[in-house]
A = this chain, B = another copy of it.
Amino acid sequence: MNNKKVLTIYDIATELKLSPSTISRALQDHYSIGKKTTEKVKGYAAKHGYKPNGVAASLRNNKTKTIGVIVPWVNRPFISSLISGIELGATESNYNVIISQSHDNYDNEVACATSLFSSRVEGVVVSLSVKTKDFSHFDRFLNSNIPIVFADRWTEEIHADKIMIDNFKAGFTATEHLIQQGCKRIAHLGGLLDQKIYRERQLGYVEALKQNNLPIDERLIIHNLLSAEEGFKSSDILLDMDERPDGIFCANDTVGVSTIQNAKKRGIKVPEELAVIGFNNDPISLIIDPPLSTISHPAKEMGLLAAEQVLKRKEGSESVIRTETIILKTELLARESSIRR
C-alpha cells in the first residue's frame, strides 16, 4: 500500500531551506519574491509533482471556486445541455461544478441544497423540482450572500436572478401558428400546473384562442408529467373523442412525438387531419416523421448565462439587492407536422 504523503509547501520549504510563505508566494508568482527563488521553487515543485491542496486554499480564502447545480434530472436533453452550458461558463473562470439531482422530489431538493451549502459553493444554479412549493431551503444561500440563479424553472417567491424564456409568448406563438394553419379545434397537452412555466404556456395557449375567437374547451386541456407514456395515454383520450381536435399544442417534444406516433398508428394523417407542435427542440423532434414543429429552447446558452450570472453576482456587494430576470428568445420552428398550406 502506497502511503506516500502528498507533498506540501512545508515539505518544499524544508527541502529548499526556505520558509513556507516564500514557497506559497513563489508558486503564485508574487512580485515580492526574487526571480531566482521563484524559479527554483517552481522547478522543484514541478519536478517532485507538487499539487496544491485546493481544500486548504478554499478554507483559508473562504472561496471554493465551485458552483452548485440542482436540477430535476440530468439525463434529459434540455437539462444535459443546460449543464453543459453551466460547465462551460464555470470552466472559463476556473470554477468547478457540483451537480445534484432532485429527481423532481421536494425532499431531495432540500437535501441537495443542504449538501451544496455544506460544500460552500459560491453560487447555485437551480431548476426547480416540479412540485416544490416551499422555498425556505434556499434561504440559507441568500442569508450568506451566495447568489442563486434560477434557470428555466423558477419561482417568484425567492428574490433571485432568473433566466428563462417567455413561456406565455411561446405558448401563444405555438397556438397561433396552429390557428394560422387552419386548425379550429386545438387541444393542449400541458405539464403539471404546479410549475409556473407550464401555467404560462397554457395561458399563452388560452390567450391565442381567445384572440382568435375560438372557444376554450376544458376537455381539450390535459396535464401530465410529459413522459412518452403519459403522452400516449393523454393523446389516446384526445384522439378517441367523437369530435377530436385538429391541432395539438404539446408542452414538450416527448409528448409531441408520442402524439404523432399515436396518430400514425391510428391512421390519422399528420398534419392534414392533425397538426402537432411541441416544445424544446429536442433531437427527437427532427427524427420523427413528419418532423415535429416546435419552439426552440436555448438550453446551452441558458446554462452559460446562468454560470456567468452567478459569477457576476459574486462580484457585486451593493447595499441594494436588485435581481435580474433574463429572458432568452425562442423561435417558432415550423416543420412538417404542422404546415398545412
Contacts and interface: CB of A to CB of B under 8 A. Distances in A.
A50 to B, nearest CB: 10
A309 interface: no
| Most chain B Cβ neighbours within 10 Å, of A94, A119, A145 | A119
A35 to B, nearest CB: 25
Contact of A144 (B6, B94, B114): B6
A6 B117 CA distance: 11
B145 A1 contact: yes
Interface string A55-85: 1101100001010000001111101110110
A79 B300 CA distance: 16
Q: How large is the interface on A (under 10, 10 to 19, 20 to 34, 35 or more residues)?
A: 35 or more
B87 A91 contact: no
Given A83-B99, A145-B1, A287-B257, A118 B51 contact: yes
A80 B74 contact: yes
Contact of A118 (B54, B88, B114, B288): B54
A101 B74 contact: no
A283 interface: yes
A80 B87 contact: no
Interface in A1-28: 1-2, 4, 6
A120 B74 contact: no
A52 interface: yes
Contacts of A97: 98-100
B143 A49 contact: yes
A317 interface: yes
Given A4-B143, A98-B97, A55 B317 contact: no
Contact of A96 (B49, B73, B98, B287): B98
Contacts of A229: none
Residue in A66, A75, A120, A300 whose Cβ sees the most chain B Cβ within 10 Å: A75
Contacts of A2: 143-145
A327 interface: no
Contact of A284 (B115, B144, B284): B284
A56 B58 CA distance: 9
A54 B119 contact: yes
A157 interface: no
Contacts of A287: 257, 261, 284, 287-288
Contact of A1 (B51, B59, B87, B317): B317
A51 B115 contact: no
13 contacts: A2-B145, A6-B144, A49-B143, A56-B59, A74-B83, A74-B84, A74-B87, A75-B77, A75-B80, A75-B84, A76-B80, A98-B98, A288-B288
